[in-house]
Structure 1
Amino acid sequence: MGPKYDPQIDFAEVYNTCKSFILNDDDLFKIRNGLDNEIGLGLSRDGHDRTSIPCYLSYVQDLPTGRERGRFLALEILPTNCRIMLVKFSSEKDVYMSSKCIIMPYTIAAGKGNELFNFLAQHIAIFVKEKKVEKDNLPMGIAFAFPLNKLALDVGILLSWPKGFGAQGAVGKDVVQLLREALVRYPEVSVNIMGIINVGTGTLLSLCWTLPDTKLGLIVGTITNACYVEQSSNCEIFDEVNDTKKDIMIINTDWARFGENGHLDFIRNEFDKILDSESSSPGSRLYEKCVATLFTGELVRLIVLRLMKSGAIFVDQKRDYIGIQWKMEMKSLIAIESDPPGVYVKAQEVMDKFQIRNCKEKDLAAFRFICETVMTRSAQLVGCGLASILNRMKYSKVSIAVDGGLYRLHPTYPDKLIYYTRLLTEPEYKFDIVVAEDSCGVGAAIMAGQSYVNVHNRSGSKLFEMDI
């Protein structure tokens, strides 16, 4: 085990370069309050169009009780793959799940909008026939990972695709309607699409079935988002069109955009600005660009490259590979901090991938310090977001459902996130952060079942109690 390094003394230039990532408590309280203010605007009729946290309505107004029973279908539409699921809720909090993963061919993702939905409909038809439920008209819920403007539980207008998706014909259209139209081509198959939710809402609902005090869903990985349970009376943007005066509404914050109104300008440094200007969406999703692994890896790469050019670390090493944009991936950041203190085996393995070999131990220690600094700021900022919502909800005890590789896999991130969330949350509001073992598709299945009951059973019963 090597010596313990003091960054300020042992690699002062590295420390000084990273100093702009180090936030103090006053910074964090200021950011938390800014988040709270923007969420308040997002929920208001007057502020909704000018806030950086739009707070979209999910139109999900029921939380599972754990007593729900029945069989339901779910479709997850994620950036890299899709999954079709048959979910059966049986007794004693037991979920049976049978699923089929579908890799989205690039030609389909980059094709016209209707090709994508025809592809999905074809695979749904194959799946329900394999499961022998093609005639059962089972309720289906969709968990969708891309930005939507929800106009009803089963109406979601696609706002945009990420890079790599060329299905532009679908932008501005209702995703549910596109899939329903595609399924018409399979008259032998009967599927009842009940609604669409985003991944955060699905994560919240799936854990809530097991832990009824779940009131918040957090996604923190290659992207970040949060969904939470708000009082309907606080949702000025919700004009109730039906006679069900339900108390709650799950809100999809879309908090990735926080900072577009200047709230993060006082902490954004030159590396943040370089990353933003060279991204595919300059000026937007600034909070996500400080938090999510797609961007934290790039920030680390930019810092290392700058310090190599100035001769502060990895002197006389090749810069060809470290010079490639987006080359530093989440698995590298996780590996570097997985080494025990004073050990740099994995750090050297990461550098080997960049053809930077036989590194001095002090350089590897400096590299690890860079990663720790950038990832600590990420955890601090997510802590600001969670605390602003916990303080707003005012529940004495809440479970937070979390999904995403950063929380699941990073060795130090969970402890840091819990620490900073606790620091910024009023002491009377307790919370647990729990990894959602069931996927967001289970949450979509729950939503489908609840919607089915609401449509077919106005008696007020919350139980599915139907083995359809």
Structure 2
Amino acid sequence: MKSMYEIEKLQLSDPVKNGKVEDIVKRLAFTDAIVERIKQVFISEMELALNMEPSSLQMENTYIPELPDGTENGTFLAMDLGGTNLRVLMMTMKRGEVSNEIVQHYPLPEELRIGCGDKLFDHLAKCIDDFAKEKQLKDDCKYSLGFTFSFPMRQSGLDSGVLVTWTKSFNCPSVVGQDAVLLLRKSLAKYKRTNIEVVAILNDTTGTLMHGALLDKNTRIGIVLGTGSNGCYMERANRVKHWEKQRHGEKHVVVDVEWGAFGDNGVLDFMSTEFDRTVDEGSLLKNSFTFEKYIGGKYLGELCRCILQKLHENDLFLEALSKEQYPKPWTFDSDNVSVIEYGTLNDSWDSLEEIIRTKFATARYSNDDLKIVRYVCGLISKRAAQLVAINTSVLLNRMGEEEGDNITVAIDGSVYKHHPRLRKWIIDYTALWTNDKKCKFMLAEDGSGKGAAIVAAIADKLRLRECSN
């Protein structure tokens, strides 16, 4: 019996047409040589960035030198900024376990996300102040807050994050080049919130690693694979050259890879296809987030549409559909790819036929058309999975004996959660390309909330340790 985790060989009714389709899409399938070359380029870019030389990877030092170890005690706050809603969270920990958690959501209207930076941060402070009043936080107690700020930033310490660029639906130009922690502290001071101290800043990927480590002590890697993608991991401190604070004998530190931008300097052009270039040309940020555009949920649907459009233009797909009727750019969401892949797993064509009828607005399709869509979705999904697995295996292969033989990867994000074959491929290919470590993938949801509170707890421990020395 054939495995649904393998891409079926394309078998159209017309062998000549079959050959033409395969020829157009053939570069989407990786050879062993291409896989090895991507690995070596990723390793090279990592080393360049760690040594503070030009690279498409940021390899940002987060200044988090340890993972939760079961000694975390107290009540901690977290704020999560990254979407159209703001979240404030209060979490109580006893001996490293969460004993209580309260979450409050606050709307973040567009006029605050686009415009004046001071107004945005004043609103964030007001939400924290409202939360403190509603939950009756004691004025005579100090509460440490971890700030999840899921945008590219440069860190000079655990509590310092200078915004490099806004992404997603945010654009407050005056904040670029500013330290988000200092801005939040300044706004909190307006509300006389002296009992709340911002002690750490992190992104959602680092938060996923921290939450994963709370759930499984073998966790050493955090990955987000959703609309966008990123990875972070525990690196040996002596490999990290960028260290602006005084070192205190740290053995490890969490490094934020920022792999969404991997290849922005052209080092991955050898694997780029004409379809990838079309997606990039139509994106909001051209020539940026190169790697993310191969794997992110924001782009997989558009990639599929571009490939099928090329086949349509060559009279190989939906030949009865006119050029004017073909779906316009960015109208074919990645959810459709996941639905089609579910159908492949279940050997069902119903959902695919429904997508053809609704998204392509035609009932004039053949069995060959259905096979082509299924084949293309399989190719781009497998390629995305292999790219994530390449990066993950490289991180695993960097880990020394002190990390043990069993490593857990904490992962979150809509693409990983909802795309069935891609998830299985990531797991299988990571195992195939990892040398001497056994790897387990674990879903760790809400790293941006719980993870930030955990980092606040670790920041408190570090401060107490420093004071005692």
Query: Which secondary structure state, in structure 2, belongs to the residue aligned with residue 301 of structure 1?
Result: helix
Q: Give 1:132-281 correspondences, 5 Å limit.
A: 132-133=136-137, 135=139, 136-162=141-167, 164-187=169-192, 190-242=195-247, 244-281=248-285
d(CA) in 2 for partners of 1:299 and 1:347?
17
1:386 corresponds to 2:395: no
- 1:318 Cα deviation after fit: 5.6
1:20 corresponds to 2:27: yes
| Residue in structure 1 matching 2:374, options 362, 368, 387 | 368
Q: Give 1:447-466 correspondences, 5 Å limit.
A: 447-458=455-466
TM-score by length of 2: 0.91
| Residue in structure 2 matching 1:89, options 93, 101, 108 | 93
d(CA) in 2 for partners of 1:226 and 1:9?
39
Residue 187 to residue 299, structure 1, CA distance change in 2 (3 Å): same
d(CA) in 2 for partners of 1:183 and 1:459?
25
Query: Which secondary structure state, in structure 1, belongs to the residue aligned with residue 342 of structure 2?
Result: coil
Query: Which secondary structure state, in structure 1, belongs to the residue aligned with residue 417 of structure 2?
Result: helix
- Which amino acid is the alignment partner of residue 18 of structure 1? V
- Contact 2:69-2:96 within 8 A present in 1 as well: no
d(CA) in 2 for partners of 1:95 and 1:381?
38
Residue 95 to residue 370, structure 1, CA distance change in 2 (3 Å): farther
d(CA) in 1 for partners of 2:176 and 2:217?
36
- 1:103 Cα deviation after fit: 3.0
1:446 corresponds to 2:454: yes
Q: Give 1:304-315 correspondences, 5 Å limit.
A: 304-315=308-319
d(CA) in 2 for partners of 1:236 and 1:436?
30
- Contact 1:134-1:191 within 8 A present in 2 as well: no
| Residue in structure 2 matching 1:408, options 389, 394, 417 | 417
Q: Give 1:24-35 correspondences, 5 Å limit.
A: 24-35=31-42
d(CA) in 2 for partners of 1:239 and 1:327?
45
The CA RMSD over aligned residues, in Å, is: 2.1
Deviations 1:325-345 (A, max 9, x none): 222212211111111444121
Residue 5 to residue 409, structure 1, CA distance change in 2 (3 Å): closer
d(CA) in 2 for partners of 1:170 and 1:5?
50
Name structure 1 gaps, 5 residues minimum: 462-468
| Residue number in structure 1 paired with 2:340 | 336
- Contact 2:96-2:214 within 8 A present in 1 as well: no
d(CA) in 1 for partners of 2:128 and 2:90?
11
d(CA) in 1 for partners of 2:8 and 2:296?
28
- 1:204 Cα deviation after fit: 0.3
- Which amino acid is the alignment partner of residue 454 of structure 2? I
d(CA) in 2 for partners of 1:67 and 1:218?
25
- 1:58 Cα deviation after fit: 0.3
d(CA) in 1 for partners of 2:325 and 2:219?
44
1:399 corresponds to 2:408: yes
| Residue number in structure 2 paired with 1:418 | 427
Residue 66 to residue 353, structure 1, CA distance change in 2 (3 Å): farther
- Contact 1:141-1:194 within 8 A present in 2 as well: yes
Residue 166 to residue 257, structure 1, CA distance change in 2 (3 Å): closer
Residue 301 to residue 197, structure 1, CA distance change in 2 (3 Å): same
- 1:9 Cα deviation after fit: 4.4
1:39 corresponds to 2:69: no
Q: How many residues align?
A: 453
- 1:253 Cα deviation after fit: 0.7
| Residue number in structure 1 paired with 2:3 | none
| Residue in structure 2 matching 1:348, options 306, 330, 353 | 353
TM-score by length of 1: 0.91
Query: Which secondary structure state, in structure 1, belongs to the residue aligned with residue 184 of structure 2?
Result: helix
d(CA) in 2 for partners of 1:181 and 1:356?
53
Q: Mean alpha-carbon deviation: is it higher for 89-98 or for 226-235?
A: 89-98
Deviations 1:282-318 (A, max 9, x none): 2222111111121221110111122222221222236
Deviations 1:38-79 (A, max 9, x none): 11111114x2xx111120110111210133221100011113
Query: Which secondary structure state, in structure 2, belongs to the residue aligned with residue 408 of structure 1?
Result: helix
Query: Which secondary structure state, in structure 2, belongs to the residue aligned with residue 324 of structure 1?
Result: coil
Residue 28 to residue 95, structure 1, CA distance change in 2 (3 Å): farther
d(CA) in 2 for partners of 1:289 and 1:301?
14
Q: Mean alpha-carbon deviation: is it higher for 91-100 or for 342-351?
A: 91-100
Residue 186 to residue 424, structure 1, CA distance change in 2 (3 Å): same
d(CA) in 1 for partners of 2:218 and 2:347?
41
- Which amino acid is the alignment partner of residue 10 of structure 2? P
Deviations 1:332-380 (A, max 9, x none): 1111111144412111232333242333333122111111111111111
Query: Which secondary structure state, in structure 1, belongs to the residue aligned with residue 263 of structure 2?
Result: coil
d(CA) in 2 for partners of 1:393 and 1:37?
16
| Residue number in structure 1 paired with 2:443 | 435
- Which amino acid is the alignment partner of residue 44 of structure 1? N
- Contact 2:237-2:252 within 8 A present in 1 as well: yes
Residue 380 to residue 97, structure 1, CA distance change in 2 (3 Å): same
| Residue in structure 2 matching 1:70, options 71, 74, 84 | 74
d(CA) in 1 for partners of 2:127 and 2:300?
36
Residue 151 to residue 458, structure 1, CA distance change in 2 (3 Å): closer
- Which amino acid is the alignment partner of residue 117 of structure 2? G
Residue 248 to residue 91, structure 1, CA distance change in 2 (3 Å): closer
- 1:166 Cα deviation after fit: 2.5
Query: Which secondary structure state, in structure 2, belongs to the residue aligned with residue 173 of structure 1?
Result: coil
Residue 92 to residue 137, structure 1, CA distance change in 2 (3 Å): closer
Query: Which secondary structure state, in structure 2, belongs to the residue aligned with residue 196 of structure 1?
Result: strand
- Contact 1:81-1:103 within 8 A present in 2 as well: yes
Residue 188 to residue 107, structure 1, CA distance change in 2 (3 Å): same
| Residue number in structure 2 paired with 1:464 | none
- Which amino acid is the alignment partner of residue 183 of structure 2? L
